[in-house]
Chain A
Amino acid sequence: MGHEQLPPGHFSYFEPEQAYHASKLGCWIFLATEVHLFGGIFAIFAVYRARYLEMFNASAHLLDWRMGLINTVFLLTSSYCMVRGVDAAQKGLNDKVTKWLNLTILFGCFFFVVKYFEYAAKFAHEPPIYPSTNIFFGLYFTMTGIHAVHVLVGVGLLLWLRALAQKKRYSPVYYTPVEMVGLYWHLVDVVWIFLFPILYLLPGIEAFGNAPH
């Protein structure tokens, strides 16, 4: 292919920069709607926690905070790999993009493995713990479930990004999909950053020789 051929993704725009900024604006607006979605559920949690504080604390003690901690580390690390992928895409290094996206997908999958064991432990608990057990577990399964669906969608998007990287689609003037999926992936990480302390840590935990309070 010769000169004066525009890179892919700029069909509707005169300038690549304009296309890039329009995409980014749209992506942030989408993220704002995601904040509305999770914010609503967080508000429900806040009100019910205020109403049934003792029940919430007793129920939260049944969660395994170690699993939550491992998943926090996995998601933070995957966010780091994602941002390194964006960095590689900004430099037009498609092979490095593939490498970092592989790691991002891997940590996303680790998250699911831990989530599986966590949910399985709840169902195997005696008596079994279901979303219908009480309002805390109803919210626990709703919040972590909606979050997990977001991670699943994220992994799907990452696989798509990876396919584009293997086709050498990214360059310093066109890496929009990597950055936009990156923004989404980081938002999912931010939601987990709030979910972890709110669900697992608030009633106090036993570690480092300290008893739960």
Chain B
Amino acid sequence: MAASGHGSEWVRLGDGSLITEDAKTGLGHMVSVETYTLTLMTLLALTFVTVFVATLDFGAFNLALALSIATLKAGIVTLIFMHLNFETKIIWGIVIYPIFIFILLLIGTLGDYSVKDKPAPLFSKPIEIPAGALPPAEH
């Protein structure tokens, strides 16, 4: 809610804090206490889900599952506890930017690693040189 500080009357609440007449709800977004409690319950439940799936053998999918659940949990914390769900586009931009850079970093490093110690296909093919393209060998 907008708080028009300048020119407004400041009143003191019972516990000593100051407040403007027209800003009783304060700055920033309010989320209900019930939502916070439900969020905590969801996060704890997902924590036990991630432990449980770690006891099962899905092969390569264990990594994908663990990371998916962690990303989901991180998303819940960011969207609700950190109020990102109620933020402006510029804050969203600031959040997305380092994630984008991190993904680029992973693509770069893991991509480079995956071709390491292997012949690069582009240069591993013998280059066919058409006859007459080279100058005659000198004797």
Contacts and interface: CB of A to CB of B under 8 A. Distances in A.
Interface stretch (A25-33, A109-117, A138-146): A25-33
Interface SS of chain B: helix
A4 B7 CA distance: 8
A87 B51 contact: no
Given A79-B77, A87-B33, A7 B18 contact: yes
Contacts of A69: 47, 51
A29 B79 CA distance: 17
Contact of B101 (A36, A65, A168, A194): A36
Interface residues of B, number: 66
Contacts of B67: 194, 197-198
B15 A93 contact: yes
Contacts of B50: 196-197, 201
Interface string B81-107: 110000000110011011101100110
Contact of A190 (B37, B39, B74): B74
A3 B9 contact: yes
Interface residues of A, number: 77
A76 interface: yes
B78 A39 contact: no
Nearest to A69: B51
Contacts of B91: 24-25, 28
A47 B110 contact: yes
Interface in B26-85: 26-28, 30-31, 33, 36-37, 39-40, 43-44, 47, 50-52, 54-57, 62-63, 66-67, 69-70, 73-74, 77-78, 81-82
A204 B62 contact: yes
A183 B82 contact: yes
A175 B70 CA distance: 30
28 contacts: A10-B5, A15-B6, A17-B4, A20-B28, A31-B95, A36-B102, A50-B113, A73-B44, A80-B40, A80-B81, A91-B26, A94-B16, A172-B3, A172-B25, A173-B19, A186-B81, A190-B78, A193-B70, A194-B67, A198-B66, A198-B70, A202-B63, A202-B66, A204-B55, A205-B55, A206-B55, A210-B56, A213-B56
Interface of B: 2-6, 9-13, 15-20, 23-28, 30-31, 33, 36-37, 39-40, 43-44, 47, 50-52, 54-57, 62-63, 66-67, 69-70, 73-74, 77-78, 81-82, 90-91, 94-95, 97-99, 101-102, 105-106, 109-110, 113-114
